Every structure is written in structure tokens, then in C-alpha cells.
Structure 1
Amino acid sequence: MQHPQVNHDELDILYDTLRHIARASNSHELLLAASRYAQENGAISCVLFYVHYTPRLHWELVETWIDVGGFSAEIGDRFYPEHQAMIGVLEKLPEKLLLLPDVENDPNLDEISRDTYRKYEMRASAVMPLWNRGQWIGTLMFNWNHPYQFSERDQRIYTALIQQAAPIIDSIRAYAAEEEARKESELLYRIGEGINAAITYHEVVEAVAKVDTESQAVYLSLWDNHDGDSSDYFEVLGVLRQGENDRILTPGQRFTRQMFPLTDTMRGSSVWLFEDIETDPRVDASSKFMLEQIGTRAMIATDLYYHERWLGGLAFHDSKPRSYTQSQVRLTIGIGELVSAALERIRLQQLTENSRRRAETLAAMNAALSQANSEDEILAAIAAVAEPYGVQTSTLSYSQIKEDGLIDSVTPVAVRGLQLSQKVLGKTPFKFTDYPLLNLAYQRPNAPIFIENIHTDARPEVRAGIDEAGIFGSSALIIFPLQIGDTWQGVVFIAWSEPQIFSEEIRILFTAVQPAVAAVVARSRAYLAERQRAHQLETVAKVSAAAASILDVDDLLDAVAELMRINFENYQMSIFLIDPHGNYLLSTAPTYSIRATRPFQVIAINDEYSPIAKAARTKQGVIANDPHQLSQVSIQPNGGTVRSEIAVPMVVNEQLIGVLDVQSYEEHLTNSD
């Protein structure tokens, strides 16, 4: 008679339990109803997990009941097979009730699962996988904090509970999913409105931030030229700070593929889900280091594609481990196409606007160049393009060509921006062989050379030119080689004191500037040379006229010297007359002083080192461009450093009367001079 009574009691328990389950309208009420029998038998905690198969198999804790003295994980926590091996076991045993009287000694448990039970101080457990229509939908788990011997009655009731509760739980879950999907659709619609209205990268990031308002930062990163297949680095272009983290990135920072191998590892995944970067085996050492540097411990992200072109990625970062909901996963995936379309639209708008601004800038520069009458005005026209970008210094230098047609040096002719630049540069020639950056320009004459950070640039010429740039405190450079055909004209240096990131627009703009500047410099140099030649011929005519009209030698010398001083202001000149005995050359009428105060200098005609003496002996002009071969006398003792010299014999009726000596602060005077 006892057996029928037991069955009747079990039916009453099952009926009462299922009646409460049927009345449940949400997962919390469902868990309380399903766990009534376990609670009456001393269970200290009861939990309900939902099973998810995306992005990979895991349990999500959705509801929990805890009695006094009990412990449980947090709602939303996730458990993967590598943390809870029981998941893999139950997947292979559909609707199999698993009773664990003592988790410390139960042979069915692996050590990973046993450690999980220990963490929450549980010693016994009834684990009920819930299957419906051939699909694993969830798991009920009732736990005790002491060993518990399950009876046959417990086994029958829990087995029946699995069979009867699973369809009801599946219905509740489906209704909740439907309601959640409705809310997601509404949220996605509102996010889409914001994305479609965005005209900047920051506005895109602001719009998508509603997907995860708990993340500490939202990052929008794009590959160079919006093409991940042909780029080696990506740039962070949109950032929204939502939490306290002083290591959050700022727009404009760049990272290479080598820094983040994870970008290629996860390529093609609909969503990147990393709930704990520190323990996730998919994260390589380099990527983990970089993520640690920016304070990221958890991340959910999606790749951005437009017509199979890999644009970049959108990521939500957090500084602590997190469990992301399925809703966040779906929303992250859902906004990907909207963001990609917006990025392409913004890119095309920027290209159109940049083209318009570039055309206006180039037109204004060309107009200024066409009106430039000096090197300073040429450089000012270039600076009008460069200085809005925070340029520190701009210089225009002319090249000096050797007789073999190769460049020997460049001489600065105009400088802007640096306070001490004129004193530092003056018009001092810079030898090509001594300056690696000049060699770099010589080797690549057809386009500007962009150096974003001279301290990290890997090109050998740049590494060798660090000291060269350091003279002016420059960390970033754009170098314009100026060449027309095969003829070198000069070079323009544009320098910044801090490292720069030269955008695609800057590179296009300055590349377009280079040919126009080279052409104008070539015309300017040709015009100046012709004007100088005409000026020199005019001076020669004046000297000839003076020689024909002035009979007194001293007056003639003073007149010639004055004409030379006025007309050749860039040179220092003096006349040396031979003494009656033909042994010495005596200075007279220097161009920097009137005759009454001129210093008196004497050069022996047999002086082997003096170009002046050599010109007198040979009655031929002598050019000295080697500082070691210059005259030991100085025409202007308090002047600058003399770098070249020409001594021209003065012969009348085949009789030497003296030597005209010309000294210059510039190198390489030639026969044409």
C-alpha cells in the first residue's frame, strides 16, 4: 500500500510544480516554480542557464535564487566548455539527468568543473539539461552546500520535471526573445537614424554608442585608404569616451598589422567577442600587450566591409572583464552594414570637399607664385599652403651645379618661421655629400619626401640625417626636390618641431604643389641670372667710360672702385697696383672704404700662395674656391668668412699695371663671373 501512496505524493508534487511553472510569465517566476521541490529539500541555491551556440557554445546565467549562506555567479555571467567541462558532457547526453551527491568524490566530474563548484562552496548538485524539439535550450541546476544523497523519488521527480518544464521554459524564452527583438529593432532604428545623419566620424561613434552604454570607450578604426588588403596600418578616427580610463586612445593614432596580429586572426568573423583578454587563448602576445597599453580587458567588435572591401572595424572596449549579452552581440553585428555605408558616404563627401579646397589652395598659390619677384615671395606663396598645418620652418635653397653637371651644394636663399634661422643658415652652402637628407632628395626627385617622425623612420638616409634635422629642432619634414627636366634648381624644406601624421589629403596637396614650385623657381633663377648679366655688362660699360674720361690715376681708381661697390654689392673688391720695381702689389681704393681711410696691404709678387700674386705673374685670371688657397690678406677684415676669390690681371698695352681682386662669401665663383 505504501507504493501507491508514494506515487500519489509524487504526482501531487509534479502537478503543483507544473501548475506554478505554467503560470510563470518570466524567467524569475519560472525558476522559483521549478525549484520549489529542491528548496523544500534543503537546496541552498537554484540557477537557470540559457544555452547559446553563437558566437560559440556557452551557458548564460539568466536567473538565480540563493538562500542564506549560499553563493552564486552574477546574472549575465557566461561559462564556456574550457571553464565548465560539464557543458560538453551534457551536450552529448540529451535530456540526461545528472545527480552529483558529493562533488568532491563524484567520478563523473572533471577537475575544472569540480573547481567551479568549490568556488561557489557547493558540495552537491542536481543538473537538468532542458531539451525541446531536438534543441538544447537551457539547464536547471539545484545546489546544496553539503553532500546530499538523492533518493529514487528525487530522481523520478527531477526526470519528470525535465520533460514537462522544458517546453514551457522554451516558450517563455521564445516570448522574451521576441520582446527583446522588438526592442532591439526599435533601438537599431534609432541608431540607424543617427548613423545616416552623421557627417563626421565622431558623429558615427556617438550614434553607435547606444549599443553598449556601459563600455568605457568606443573606437572607429579605418585602414589606410579604406582598404585592409593593401594597407599595413590602420588609424583610429573616431573615439567616444564613456568611462574613466586615462589610457583611452585619441583620434589620429596609428597601429600596424604587426602590432595587432589579432586583426587578421579574427578577419571574417561576424563579431569579435573577448570577455577577458587576459585569459582568452585566441589573443596573441603582441595584441595582448597593445590592448593592455590602452587599458582594455574586454572587447566586442565587428569588421566593417563595403562591397567586399575591408574598411576597418568598430569596437567597444572595457577596462575590466565583462559578459556581453546576446542582444549586444546582435546589435553589434546589425550596425556593421549601416556604419560601413555611412563611412563610404563620408569618404566620398570628404573627397569632394578636399578636391574643392585643394583646387582653391593651388589656384591661390599659383597666383601668388606668378606675382613673386623674389625668393622671399616665392617661399611666402609656398608657406601659405603649408603654415595652416602648424609648420615650424620653411626654407628655399638654390642648388650649385659643378662643371660635370652634378650638384655640389645648395644655398638657402629664403627662410620663414624660425627666429634664429637667418643667423643659423645665412647663405651658407650645404654640401650634398655632407647632408644625407639632401642626398635623399637627389635620389627621389619626382615627388615630395614625407618624413613623419625622423626619430623612428627606418630609411637609412633619414636615420643618418637625424643630427642634420636636430640643428633646427625638427622632428617631421616634407622635402620638395626642385628639378626641371634633368636640371636641378634647388630644394624646399618644410619642417615641424613635433612628429606628424601626414594624411592622404596633405600628401596629395603637397605632391600637386611640387611641379608648380619647380617651374617658378627655374624661371626665377633664369630671370635673375639674365638680369645680373645685364647689370654686369652695364657696369663694365661705366668703367670703360670712366677710364676714357678720367686722367688722374687716383681719381680713376676711386671711380672704378665706387662703381664696383655700387654694382656688385654681393662681392668685396679691391685693386692692387704693381710697384715701379715690379716686386710688390700695393692695395689701393678698396670698395668698402674711401681712399682717405683705406688700410694699406702689400703682397710680394713671388708669393706662391696668393691668387693675387699668381694672377700678376701669369697675367691670367685665377679662381680660388678652396678655402686653403685663398689670399692671406682680407679685403674686409671685419666681414664674414670669405669662401671664394677671383684675381684678374690689369694689363694695358701688354704691360701689367695691377690686379683686380674679388672675394665672395659664397662658394664657386666661375669663369663667367
Structure 2
Amino acid sequence: VGLVHQTGTGLQWGRRFLHDGEELLPQTVELIRERFDLYYVGIFLLDETGQWAVLRAGTGEAGKRMLQQGHKLEVGGRSMIGWCTAHGEARIALDVGAEAVRFDNPLLPETRSEMALPLVSRGRVIGAMTIQSDKPAAFTEEDITALQTMADQLATAIENARLFAETQQALKETQELYETGRAIGAAATPADVGRTLVEYAVHTDLTIARLLLYEFEDGQPVHLTMAESWTVDGRPVHPYGTRLPVDEYAVARLLRPDEPLVVEDVHADPRLDEPTRLLAEVARVRSFAIVPLAIGDRLIGGLMVGRDGPSTFSERLLNNLWTLCGQAAIAVENLRLLEETRRRAQELEAINEISRAITSVLDLESVIRQIVDTTKERFGHYFVSLLLVEGDRLVFEDGSTIGDTSRRLERGKITLDLERPSIATDAVRTGEPILVNDVLFDPRYVTVPELSEARSELAVPIEVKGQVIGVLDVQSDRPYAYSRTDVLLLQSLAGQAGVAIENARLFAEVEATARRRALISEVLEAGAASLDPDELLHRVAEAISLRLEMPCGIFGWEPETETLRPIVVYDPTGEPFPLPETVPAITAEMVPAIFEAIRTRDLQVVLDVPSHVRGPALQFIRSFGVQDAAYVPLIARERILGILSLGRQSGHPPLDEDELEFIQIVGANLSVAWENARLYREAVETAERLKEVDRLKSQFLANMPHE
């Protein structure tokens, strides 16, 4: 009775297998060993093949070491466990020295008697329990009966736990199928469908999944293209968009719309050719299955799943994938048709939007920004840029944001020599679109660190009145992203862009002419309205800085010391720059170019001014971030009055010949006005002196009679 009670207590652990599974096996064997004062207890379960009894739990240090070694015994082999599992009967050795089929385990040297009890559930042997004692003839009939009863109940608990786990797994797979199917139905793009499909592999024991899609020409498949992928360990795979010509790869020809293609070992399957085996080796795949994506009898692709070693693919897994691929094929086809319709509508809308920009925006920078941003927003490019021809160079004017970020490239970041080959310059020289499906393999691609994810590029020339004035360039982060349809669309956009840019340029020229005339008028008005030299120079410097949006300074010439002294300095917004009460004189050693303008009495233009200036004058240069400068000598009646200085900041267009000529005209008018004001001041001062002399004379004459 005591033994039965102990057995019943031990079985409480077995019943918990329904919830805790094999995690309780170590506790079970330890409990049995303690309750029956045994030397060793171990539990073996048959593997999937039924050929081996694998140790799943064992007591003591010996059990721990055997578990680490993966200890297993062959079913039907020369061991008590092997015999027991093969015959489904208990085998008892009250004296192990006399047992013919016993495995003499060196880790258990003290064993004197042993029982191997089969674990039988629903008439099927699922394993065995070894019970060993360090005493000979340790087991009575009552012990054997009690322990066998416990073994039977433990087997039932283990089998119930297995069935429960299988049921739970089936429910889990059904839920995963439902969730994946729902995600496929909710996908907004074919790429979303592909990602959902390959990510289903996360829920399986697969190591890799890849979506393969056919490309068609005249209704016939010509390439099998690699699309979305997933791997269990993040291993490198063939790049997205890799194309496999159908006539060069057996795997592309073996797919059928009505059944999966299963390869259990790529090295042993005679259907595969060397290119296909090489593909598998690169991805470290030894076995794979491809489940077709088909609409009726029309095959559009397949889902490839694989493992690192030779293996079979269960019917349940293939059925689940077949169900998902059927849903995915319909979703991809519907989304493709929807995407084509939507894309065409976007094309027309984008063209109309750029057309509206021609009439609504006349600022060149704004026009270019609107063109690149609209093109990216409407068509989802990785990057869109617009480059314009400037002499013998092609200069980056503006670009969209990069990828999903808010980063942009600075103007002038890319400057290309038109004589050197590149994708964009080739478009200018040939006047034809240049399409590169994979920039990694085209030596003409100009590498820009910020655009490291670019994989394909399309450059279309912008023409105005038969002359190429620039390039509209789009890039994608996927290879083979652009088709002939994209080329035609971008050509249409480039035509609209050319009209918009030309209109903006013409408007800018008219506006610049009007602004220049207004500036000259202001200089003349200032000369007429003010005869005070200081007031005149302030008004003129303010007008010049505002109109030209450049820092402006006027320096007075001191012939006695042959130095220059700042009189007024204004920033690009027309605000005066405060000068110290004692303004230091500027010498030829500080700013050589400005004194060269005085010496030659001619305009001087200096590039990279900070590297040519020293001393206090450098303060003015750095405070405004001036890069280049123009120095205009102010001369009246062959006499040097001073210097008009203009600085070009970063982002301001370079000073061209027209602008420099205009600055000289402004300087000539300013010279006349300044000289007139100076002469007027001298006349006033002379009149004041004469008036004072006359007053003193009158006072002198009035005082004479009294003396």
C-alpha cells in the first residue's frame, strides 16, 4: 500500500505534462529516485524515425553527462532499453552481471540490478524508463507492478502532452495562416504582399524565404527576378532585383502552376543544372521548395523556402504555403492592375502640376525645387535631382529629400566636367535618355556618399529651343527599377521642366534689369536729395546691399598715408554694420587686391577672399561669410575718392560679367554724387569761413573810433 501511495504521489508530476511538457521530466525521475531510494532513474523517448531511444532525463551527475553527450540507444539493439522498446515489454535484471543484452554504462558502475519498463500509450511504444539500484535483487513483485503502473500512467501523460502540443501547434498555425492571409488582403502594394509572404517563414523551422517573380515580354517569361527575402540569421543574399534568364537557369524552367517544386538535396537532384546549384550554394541552401504563384494556368512567380541541410518538406507546410501563395497571386495581380491605373493617374497629375508651376512660379530656385519635390512625391523615387549646364560644366542645382529622410544635398555638391563620361553628362552630350539598371556595375556612376543606397538611375536631358540646358535625374534604391514607360514619362516631365526653367530665367533677367535700373535711380536720387557725404554714402550703401542682396562697404582713400578707412558697411538685408569709434586704417599688406584696384584704377575680383586678407579687415569678411569680392575704384575728376566693395556669400550666384559691368556703372554714378557732395560741403565750409571773416572785419571797424 505504501508503494502504491508513493507511486500515486509521483504521478502528480506526470499529469502536469499536459501543461508543462518535457520540462517536468527531470523532476519526475528525481522524485522517483528519491521515493524508491534508487541508484539511477532515466527516461528515454523514441525519435521521429523510431530507430533510436534518446535519453530525455536522467538523475545525478551521470544523467547530466549523458544528456550533454546526447546519449541514445538503438531500438532492438544490445541493451535492455533497446530490447524493451522493440518488444514493448519490461526487462528485469536482478543481477546485471547475468544479463545478456544489457548495455554496461561506465558512468553507472555501481548498478547491481536494473529494470527497463516500456512507456506505452494507446498501444504504441513511445519510450522506456530505466530504473537501477546499487543493491542486487532490489525489486520485489510489488515494486515491479507499482513501477510499471506508474510507467503506464507516465506514458499516457506524455502522449497526452504531445497530442495537446500538436493541437496547440495546429491552432497556432491556423492563427498564423489567418493573420498572414488577412495581411495579404490588406496589402497596399505588391511589395507589401511579398514582404508578408516571406515573413511567414518566421513562424516555421525554415532558414530562408524568397519571392521570385517572372518578367514577361510579349506574354512570354524571360527573367525570373528575385524580390523580397527573409533569412533566419540575416545572412547575405542575392540583391533585390537579381535577374535569372529563363533559358540559363533550370530552376526558372522547372516551375509549374499546379504543383510545388521540391528539391531535398541540391547536390543529388538530377533536374538541377550548375548555375542553379551555384545560386543555392551562395545562399547556403542545401534543400528548397518553390510553391507557385499562379492565376489559373498562368504562372507569375513562386515562393522559395529552404534549409541549410538536406531535408524533406512536410505536407502540412507545403499545404499552408500553397494556400498563402494562392491568395498572394490574386492580390499581386489585382494590386498590379491597380498600381498601373494609379501610376498613370499620378503621371498625368504630376505633369499638370508642373505645368501649373510654369504659370504660378517665376523664381528659378522655387521652380527647380517644385520640379524635384513633385517628381519624388508622385512617383516614390529614392532621389530626384536637376542639374544645369554652366559653360563646360554640369552643376547640381537642387534635389529632393534623400530616401525616407529629410536630408538634402547642397547646391553645387555635384559638379561634372561635360567632357568626362558619366550618366548625366552622357545624357547632355547625346541628347538621349540614359538608363542604368544597376549602378554598381556601371563605371560612369558618380558616387556620392549621401546616396549610398542608390542602385538604378535614369537621366533625361532637358532641352529648350533645340539646345540641352540640363538634366532631370531620378534614382531608385532598387536595381532594375525603371522601364521604358518611366523613360517616356520622365521625358515628358523634362519637357515641362525646360519650359518652366526658361520662363523663370527670362523673368529673372527682366527683374534683374529692372532692379539694376532702380538701383541706379536710387543712387542718383540720393545724390540729388542729400549733399551731406556721410548721409549720401549710407543711403547708397543701404540701397546697394538691399537690391543686390550682398554685403556692401564703402572705403575712403587717404592719400597722405596711402591707406583706406571704412566709412559705411551694410549687411545683405540693408542693416548697417556697427563700426568702432576709432576705425583702423587698411593697408596694402592687409588687402592687396583692394590696393591693386586703386593702382590700376580698374575693377578687381578676388575669389576665396579669406585666404587673401589679413589683419582687422578679416573681421568684416568673416562676419558676413564672404567667399568672393569685387572692388570698384571710385574716381571723380581723375581723383580717387575710395573703394566700393561687394561680397558674395555662400549660396549667392557667382558674379557674372553683366553683374560686374553693372557694379561699375553704379560705382561711376556714386563717384559723381560723392564728389558733388564733397564739393558742396567744401563750398559750405568756405562760405562759413568767409562769413566769419566778414563778421570779424565788421567788429574791428566798429571798434576803431573808440580808440
Q: Give the equivalent residue in structure 2 for 1:643.
A: 627
Q: Give the equivalent residue in structure 2 for 1:443.
A: 426
Q: Give the equivalent residue in structure 2 for 1:290.
A: 279
- Give distance in 1, aligned partners of 2:540 and 2:313: 94
Offset, 1:433 = 5.0
Residue 615 of structure 1: which of 597, 604, 613 is its match?
597
Q: Does the 8 Å CA contact 2:212/2:224 hold for their aligned counterparts?
A: no
Q: Give the equivalent residue in structure 2 for 1:542.
A: 522
More helix by share: 2
Q: Does the 8 Å CA contact 1:448/1:510 hold for their aligned counterparts?
A: no
Residue 640 of structure 2: which of 608, 631, 656 is its match?
656
Residue 670 of structure 1: which of 656, 681, 689 is its match?
656
1:317 and 1:588, CA in 2 relative to 1: closer, same or farther beyond 3 A? closer
- Give distance in 2, aligned partners of 1:595 and 1:215: 75
- Name the aligned partner's letter for residue 538 of structure 1: A
* 1:647 alignment partner, SS class: strand
- Give distance in 2, aligned partners of 1:473 and 1:451: 16
Offset, 1:294 = 7.9
Q: Does the 8 Å CA contact 1:644/1:664 hold for their aligned counterparts?
A: yes
Q: Give the equivalent residue in structure 1 for 2:481.
A: 502
Q: Give the equivalent residue in structure 2 for 1:55.
A: none
Root mean square deviation, CA, Å = 5.7
1:519 and 1:353, CA in 2 relative to 1: closer, same or farther beyond 3 A? same
Residue 349 of structure 2: which of 360, 367, 376 is its match?
360
- Give distance in 1, aligned partners of 2:565 and 2:496: 52
* 1:563 alignment partner, SS class: helix
Q: Does the 8 Å CA contact 2:604/2:632 hold for their aligned counterparts?
A: yes
Offset, 1:449 = 6.2
Structure 1 unaligned spans of 5+: 1-67, 70-198, 207-213
- Give distance in 1, aligned partners of 2:587 and 2:593: 11
Q: Give the equivalent residue in structure 2 for 1:13.
A: none
Residue 256 of structure 1: which of 243, 249, 256 is its match?
243
Offset, 1:604 = 4.0
- Name the aligned partner's letter for residue 427 of structure 2: R
**TM-score of the pair, normalised by structure 1:** 0.51
- Name the aligned partner's letter for residue 262 of structure 1: Y
- Name the aligned partner's letter for residue 366 of structure 1: S
Q: Does the 8 Å CA contact 1:226/1:311 hold for their aligned counterparts?
A: no
Q: Does the 8 Å CA contact 1:221/1:314 hold for their aligned counterparts?
A: yes
1:418 and 1:288, CA in 2 relative to 1: closer, same or farther beyond 3 A? closer
- Give distance in 2, aligned partners of 1:218 and 1:596: 71
- Give distance in 1, aligned partners of 2:461 and 2:256: 49
- Name the aligned partner's letter for residue 377 of structure 2: E
Q: Give the equivalent residue in structure 2 for 1:406.
A: 392
Q: Does the 8 Å CA contact 1:482/1:517 hold for their aligned counterparts?
A: no
Offset, 1:387 = 3.1
Q: Does the 8 Å CA contact 1:394/1:493 hold for their aligned counterparts?
A: yes
The 5-angstrom pairing of residues 293-332 of structure 1 reads 293=283, 295=285, 297-299=287-289
The 5-angstrom pairing of residues 167-206 of structure 1 reads none
Q: Give the equivalent residue in structure 2 for 1:458.
A: 441
Offset, 1:416 = 8.3
Structure 2 unaligned spans of 5+: 1-74, 77-187, 197-203, 660-707
* Further displaced range: 297-306 or 572-581: 297-306
Offset, 1:257 = 2.8
Q: Give the equivalent residue in structure 1 for 2:373.
A: 383
Q: Give the equivalent residue in structure 2 for 1:625.
A: 607
Offset, 1:396 = 5.4
Offset, 1:392 = 6.7
1:649 and 1:388, CA in 2 relative to 1: closer, same or farther beyond 3 A? same
1:532 aligns with 2:532: no
1:417 and 1:631, CA in 2 relative to 1: closer, same or farther beyond 3 A? farther
1:649 and 1:672, CA in 2 relative to 1: closer, same or farther beyond 3 A? same
1:224 and 1:489, CA in 2 relative to 1: closer, same or farther beyond 3 A? same
- Name the aligned partner's letter for residue 650 of structure 1: L
Q: Give the equivalent residue in structure 1 for 2:49.
A: none
1:595 and 1:580, CA in 2 relative to 1: closer, same or farther beyond 3 A? farther
Q: Give the equivalent residue in structure 2 for 1:234.
A: 225
- Give distance in 1, aligned partners of 2:189 and 2:389: 48
Q: Does the 8 Å CA contact 1:643/1:667 hold for their aligned counterparts?
A: no
- Name the aligned partner's letter for residue 656 of structure 2: T
- Give distance in 1, aligned partners of 2:456 and 2:516: 39
Q: Give the equivalent residue in structure 1 for 2:545.
A: 565
- Name the aligned partner's letter for residue 442 of structure 1: T
- Give distance in 2, aligned partners of 1:277 and 1:257: 18
1:343 and 1:396, CA in 2 relative to 1: closer, same or farther beyond 3 A? closer
- Name the aligned partner's letter for residue 655 of structure 1: R
Residue 586 of structure 1: which of 556, 565, 572 is its match?
565
- Give distance in 2, aligned partners of 1:230 and 1:564: 67
- Give distance in 1, aligned partners of 2:240 and 2:399: 37
Offset, 1:304 = 9.2
1:265 and 1:597, CA in 2 relative to 1: closer, same or farther beyond 3 A? closer
Q: Does the 8 Å CA contact 2:552/2:569 hold for their aligned counterparts?
A: yes
Offset, 1:234 = 2.2
* Further displaced range: 575-584 or 479-488: 479-488
Offset, 1:510 = 4.1
Offset, 1:672 = 1.0
* 1:577 alignment partner, SS class: strand
- Name the aligned partner's letter for residue 672 of structure 1: D
Larger Rg: 2
- Give distance in 2, aligned partners of 1:507 and 1:563: 48
Q: Give the equivalent residue in structure 2 for 1:32.
A: none
1:575 and 1:489, CA in 2 relative to 1: closer, same or farther beyond 3 A? farther
Offset, 1:547 = 1.9
1:413 and 1:323, CA in 2 relative to 1: closer, same or farther beyond 3 A? closer
- Give distance in 1, aligned partners of 2:393 and 2:232: 54
* Further displaced range: 547-556 or 636-645: 636-645
Q: Give the equivalent residue in structure 2 for 1:371.
A: 360
State the Cα deviation string for residues 593-623 of structure 1 (Å, max 9, x = none): 3576488354446x69733212211122222
- Name the aligned partner's letter for residue 367 of structure 1: R
Q: Does the 8 Å CA contact 2:241/2:479 hold for their aligned counterparts?
A: no
- Give distance in 2, aligned partners of 1:277 and 1:554: 91
- Name the aligned partner's letter for residue 518 of structure 2: E
Q: Does the 8 Å CA contact 1:257/1:263 hold for their aligned counterparts?
A: no
1:434 and 1:588, CA in 2 relative to 1: closer, same or farther beyond 3 A? farther
Offset, 1:356 = 3.5
1:259 and 1:491, CA in 2 relative to 1: closer, same or farther beyond 3 A? same
- Give distance in 2, aligned partners of 1:599 and 1:566: 27
Q: Give the equivalent residue in structure 2 for 1:279.
A: 268
- Name the aligned partner's letter for residue 234 of structure 1: T
Offset, 1:589 = 0.8
* Further displaced range: 296-305 or 551-560: 296-305
Q: Does the 8 Å CA contact 1:578/1:586 hold for their aligned counterparts?
A: yes
Q: Does the 8 Å CA contact 1:447/1:511 hold for their aligned counterparts?
A: no
